[in-house]
Chain A
Amino acid sequence: MKKRLCISLLGAALVAGQAQARDSYDHVRFGVDVPYEPMEYRTPEGELTGFDIDLGNALCAEMDITCEWIEQQWDGIIPGLMARNYDAIMSSMTINEERRAQVLFSDPYFTPPSAWFGPVDTDIDMPSEETLEGLTLGVQRGTLQDSYATDFYNDVANIRRYATADDMLLDMESGRLDLVFVNYPVGKTTLLDSERGDYKVVGEMIREPYKYFGDGIAIAFRPRDEALAERFNEALATLKENGTYDEIHDRYFTD
């Protein structure tokens, strides 16, 4: 009798556990690497804002769930998702093969190009193996820009990898770096439109090859959370249809 009770309790617990795993979330915690202006940053008042943040909050509102933002440095952002420190990553993460092996991506919600930025008086006009030879280049560690620069220019140039975009910009300002390679909207906000100094885009926007730039940026989930990703995809489609997406987009990207 006792034994049977035990077994049935165990069974109930198992079923309940499974139901919970399959059950849809009514509270989602997003991992985000701040600052990465204008995608995610803090206002002078200390409030978290940016394209990712506003879109994420709009998605949650659309799905009628609550959400929370948890800051996490970029190079540990995927392990943090696996460790269940948060349920999703919404931090301008570009879809690529290496990441796809680890996480489940939503539909892409934005496709930012990358670009080289340098001081206005730089004499480089087109980055290539010849023109970058011997220069010091800055990237944020573990980003697609890091992979791209490492694979193409590691043999000719000195690549310095920073934990945060902030540290990199500080070294750009002080003259330690000749060029930095970042996501264009971020470079535009933090270098071109800022008071830090006079900078310009060096060369063209870079969107190729597909291996690095993929389909654009998306929300990342743990592979088992397929239902959750599907709900986000539906919400994203709705926001694109009813104009909310465009409204948020225009708030941060003017050109």
Chain B
Amino acid sequence: MELVNWFNELLAGNLIFTPQTLGYYWNGVVTTTQLVFLSLLVGLVMAVPLSILRGSKHRWIKLPIYAYTYVFRGTPLLIQLYIIYYGVVFVDGIQQTFLWPLLREAFYPALIAFTLNTAAYTTEIFHGAIKATARGEIEAARAYGMSDRMMMRRIILPSAFRRALPAYGNEVIFMLHASAIASVVTLMDITGAARFVYARYYAPFEAFLFAAAIYLCLTFAILYFFRFLERRLLAHLRPQN
């Protein structure tokens, strides 16, 4: 109750940051978080097998994956989002399929675009880390008589993922920032809320500075999470004294 009073006093006389617009910002935070978290999660799950297969000896496995990562890293995310959101409706009869209830919303086309994009980047990050595994470790594993599969599971992947962690942390932050374009397909994410407030009150500074502050907070949260992970998982690489 006291908190409510304090809050109302804080907002008194403020024409832009009313409980209503703060509600839009809050919903924006929820939408952005859902979108980024889900796309990163699915992207990560896709990227692990893709990065292993990307290093395959067989051309017909390796090349399609390379083509996929090349296309998605070589084109702007905004264009991918437009193609998926506006392009999908030109598929004949899409409105009658079971997918339409999902594709009709702005959220799922955006989720698909973001997932495919982050999966492509993550695949390349992991692939690079796998390729950079020290030769000695592989030779030692072979000397122990490990099969390829066991060597991958016990030796290569654990050390590759650890080494990929800092680069992956950057990818997560880039993804958060890239998600700002979701508002072009009418999603009310943080940027969408800011645009709404901007267009309604003609107050670009207030609207966008507030959004920037929210992104900054989220970025710090991600930064500290990865710092914590690195401290735990890369403990063996720190000087011991």
Listed in ascending order, the chain A residues whose CB lies under 8 Å from chain B are: 74-76, 78-79, 98-99, 102, 136, 141-142, 146-147, 160-163, 167, 170-171, 173-176
* B202 part of interface (Cβ distance < 8 Å): yes
With the chains together, A167 CA to B198 CA distance in Å? 20
Nearest chain-A residue to B23 (Cβ)? A154
Beyond A79-B204, A162-B186, A175-B95, is A170–B199 a contact (Cβ under 8 Å)? no
Most buried by A among B95, B188, B196, B202: B202
Known: A98-B201, A174-B89. 18 other contacts (CB 8 A): A74-B199, A75-B199, A79-B202, A79-B204, A98-B200, A99-B202, A141-B196, A142-B198, A142-B199, A142-B200, A146-B200, A160-B186, A161-B186, A161-B188, A162-B186, A167-B186, A174-B95, A175-B95
Q: Is the CB of A75 within 8 A of B184?
A: no
19 A-B pairs in the complex with CB atoms less than 8 angstroms apart:
A74-B199, A76-B204, A98-B202, A99-B202, A136-B104, A141-B196, A142-B196, A142-B200, A146-B200, A160-B186, A161-B188, A161-B192, A162-B186, A163-B184, A171-B186, A175-B89, A175-B100, A176-B89, A176-B104
Nearest chain-A residue to B205 (Cβ)? A79
B192 contacts across to A, CB distance below 8 A: 161
With the chains together, A141 CA to B201 CA distance in Å? 12
Give the Cβ gap from A164 to chain B, nearest Cβ, in Å.
10
Listed in ascending order, the chain B residues whose CB lies under 8 Å from chain A are: 86, 89, 95, 100, 104-106, 184, 186, 188, 192, 195-196, 198-202, 204
With the chains together, A45 CA to B202 CA distance in Å? 34
User: What total count of A-B pairs have CB within 8 Å?
Assistant: 47
Give the Cβ gap from A82 to chain B, nearest Cβ, in Å.
8
With the chains together, A79 CA to B206 CA distance in Å? 13
| Among candidates A78, A162, A171, residue contacting B202 with C-beta atoms closer than 8 Å | A78
Give the Cβ gap from B170 to chain A, nearest Cβ, in Å.
30
Give the Cβ gap from B53 to chain A, nearest Cβ, in Å.
36
A163 contacts across to B, CB distance below 8 A: 184
Beyond A160-B186, A162-B186, A174-B89, is A141–B199 a contact (Cβ under 8 Å)? yes
| Among candidates A99, A141, A147, A174, residue contacting B195 with C-beta atoms closer than 8 Å | A141
A74 contacts across to B, CB distance below 8 A: 199
Give the Cβ gap from A211 to chain B, nearest Cβ, in Å.
13
Most buried by B among A146, A161, A173: A161
Give the Cβ gap from B178 to chain A, nearest Cβ, in Å.
18
Lowest 3 A-B CB distances belong to which pairs?
A142-B199, A174-B89, A75-B199
Q: Is the CB of B186 within 8 A of A175?
A: no
B89 contacts across to A, CB distance below 8 A: 170, 173-176
With the chains together, A79 CA to B199 CA distance in Å? 10
With the chains together, A171 CA to B90 CA distance in Å? 11
With the chains together, A79 CA to B202 CA distance in Å? 7
A171 contacts across to B, CB distance below 8 A: 186
Give the Cβ gap from A143 to chain B, nearest Cβ, in Å.
8
Nearest chain-B residue to A154 (Cβ)? B20
With the chains together, A76 CA to B202 CA distance in Å? 8
Give the Cβ gap from B102 to chain A, nearest Cβ, in Å.
12
A78 contacts across to B, CB distance below 8 A: 202
Beyond A79-B204, A160-B186, A163-B184, is A146–B104 a contact (Cβ under 8 Å)? no
A102 contacts across to B, CB distance below 8 A: 202
Beyond A141-B195, A141-B196, A170-B86, is A160–B106 a contact (Cβ under 8 Å)? yes
Q: Is the CB of A75 within 8 A of B201?
A: no
Q: Is the CB of B106 within 8 A of A146?
A: no
